[in-house]
Structure 1
Amino acid sequence: MKKILDTKVKRLDTAVDKLRIKRKDSNTLKVTENVFDDATLKSLYTLSNKGIVEALGGSISTGKEANVFLGEGEEHDIAIKIYRISSSTFRSMEDYILGDPRFTNIRHNKRDIIFAWTKKEFRNLIRANEAGIRVPVPIITERNILIMEFMGKNEKPFPALKDIKLELEDGQLIFETIIDDMHKLYTKANLVHGDLSEYNILIDTNDLTPIMIDMGQSVTLEHPRADIFLKRDIENILRYFKRFKIDETPESVYKRIKNTGNEN
């Protein structure tokens, strides 16, 4: 029998119950049950007791491996990213974990891979933030849960690049910022994003600043496939920005990103 630790835990339980009541279709209910297993609830209790999570809000996004929820922190709204242990396709994670020198002692089982992946995203976000790239600032991890800065306003997340309409000039400026961020990520953070596209770049609607998200798969330059991932990121970005009349080739962008002489 679960023991109620304090009032904040009750609020977490109530929030989970409301999520289940609001969306009664079988697919959403199945996903919700896969997210909030007993182990994950215990981790949320731990974060609640530390004063990190005051309350759990509605869903922000649902991905192949994780769900992101709006949360109430001690002073600000937070994003609560929960990697699903029961239904994640963790085999695809191994390509990014194996070969990363930071995770040489990880056992090849599902739970350990997911816990390592959560820590990996936390560390990658720290590196990117320190390199001067706009990313959600990470706060803490607990097993399969990552707590980070909420990127949005008035409890609504900023839109993904794919969902926002831009004028030609704005699109060109955003492209230049993204390439500069990829350069900083490579030369200052020693990282390649590994899955960069219009789906995991948010746009701050206040000033049209791009925000990189979903950095769990980002690898260090020592990773044997780092260069392959970088070239794929470049191709994805150029494919999207063709509509803004960008006069660049994959080769020219590749040189710009790797050119250490461009650092400030």
Structure 2
Amino acid sequence: MVKLKLDRDRIIEKLDREVSKLGVRIKDADSMKVMENVFDDQTLVALYKLVNKGKLSVIGGSISTGKEANVFYAEDSEGAPVAIKIYRIQSANFNTMNQYLVGDPRFSSVRKSKKEVIFAWTRKEYSNLNRAHDAGIRCPKARYFDRNILLMDFCGENEIPYPQLRHAGIEKGEGQKHYDAIIHDIDRMYNDAGLVHADLSEFNLLFDGSEHIIIDMGQAVTPDHPRAVKFLVRDILNINRFFARLCDIRDEEEIFREIIGEDKLQP
């Protein structure tokens, strides 16, 4: 136990020294303490490598703490705002993650150990974000990943993230255009990016004051996933539920058929 403690102290000291040596500015000392206290040694080493490669010039405060990951504000080598998303190996929900990986042909070779699943999940979110971004979907562009760490564009202003859709204060007069735009993006994700978000709701949509931004794509699956149809229907239902009080919503089956294509529904 003493040796492990000394090893961990040495890793933390090395990270602190490297951050200082490279001129990386720590804007929030409490956030750095969270990183040191919550994450395992290997995650700290991966963070050290991220700093050593010159990917960051500033490490800022905590943006959010979710069920599986912590997100921190940072700035890249040119001072552009970025977000560091770090999945917690010890407390992430292995079983939930695994159900989205099983059946995805891109990750068929992933072993079933908890660590391997979380690493695959990080790689999957990196891939999904870039597929969606390249298809023109408004979402963060993923920049880099290593193990359980994902570096991506920051969605916000003045170090403050944009609010979730549920907190955006959209009024009835504005609801229709935002509803139509989100339904259109569900269609584009499926047909242009080859993805189903699989957890789309007012919690995983940000609002920048004029348009929505889709986030949290680790669970997104390709249309050939065995549960893709179920996930697509759920996404549509969630958006209809949220916007029902704000505008005229469309029939879920009509939206589904339009996205899938009538020809694909024929026996």
**Same fold at TM > 0.5:** yes
Shift of 1:123: 0.3
Report matched runs for 1:70-219 at 5 Å. 70-75=73-78, 76-205=80-209, 208-219=210-221
- Which residue of structure 1 lines up, in the alignment, with residue 245 of structure 2? 243
Q: Give the TM-score normalised by the residue count of structure 1.
A: 0.88
Shift of 1:155: 0.9
- Which residue of structure 1 lines up, in the alignment, with residue 223 of structure 2? 221
Q: Secondary structure at the match of 2:245?
A: helix
Shift of 1:220: 0.4
Shift of 1:213: 0.2
Q: Does residue 1:47 correspond to 2:50, yes or no?
A: yes
Q: Give me the whole-angstrom Cα distance separating, in 1, the residues matched to 2:19 and 2:151.
A: 20
Moved more, 251-260 or 194-203: 251-260
Check whether the contact 1:9–1:45 (CA below 8 A) recurs between aligned residues.
Answer: no
Amino acid in structure 2 at the alignment position of 1:5 = E
Q: How many residues are treated as equivalent by the alignment?
A: 249
Shift of 1:162: 0.4
Distance change in 2, residues 1:32/1:50 (3 Å): closer
- Which residue of structure 1 lines up, in the alignment, with residue 7 of structure 2? none
Q: Give me the whole-angstrom Cα distance separating, in 2, the residues matched to 1:20 and 1:123.
A: 27
Q: Give me the whole-angstrom Cα distance separating, in 2, the residues matched to 1:260 and 1:141.
A: 38
Q: Secondary structure at the match of 2:207?
A: strand
Check whether the contact 1:44–1:53 (CA below 8 A) recurs between aligned residues.
Answer: no
Q: Give me the whole-angstrom Cα distance separating, in 1, the residues matched to 2:191 and 2:262.
A: 6
Q: Give me the whole-angstrom Cα distance separating, in 1, the residues matched to 2:246 and 2:232.
A: 22
Amino acid in structure 2 at the alignment position of 1:244 = L
Q: Give me the whole-angstrom Cα distance separating, in 2, the residues matched to 1:212 and 1:9.
A: 34
Q: Which has the larger radius of gyration?
A: 2
Amino acid in structure 2 at the alignment position of 1:215 = M
Distance change in 2, residues 1:156/1:6 (3 Å): closer
- Which residue of structure 1 lines up, in the alignment, with residue 20 of structure 2? 7
Q: Give me the whole-angstrom Cα distance separating, in 1, the residues matched to 2:182 and 2:89.
A: 32
Residue deviations 1:29-51 (CA, integer Å, cap 9, x gap)? 6x9732x3221111111111111
Check whether the contact 2:36–2:44 (CA below 8 A) recurs between aligned residues.
Answer: no
Q: Secondary structure at the match of 2:257?
A: helix
Distance change in 2, residues 1:74/1:247 (3 Å): same
Distance change in 2, residues 1:80/1:67 (3 Å): same
Amino acid in structure 2 at the alignment position of 1:49 = N
Q: Give me the whole-angstrom Cα distance separating, in 1, the residues matched to 2:99 and 2:21.
A: 39
**Deviation above 6 Å: which 4+ runs of structure 1?**
none
Q: Give the TM-score normalised by the residue count of structure 2.
A: 0.87
Check whether the contact 2:243–2:249 (CA below 8 A) recurs between aligned residues.
Answer: no
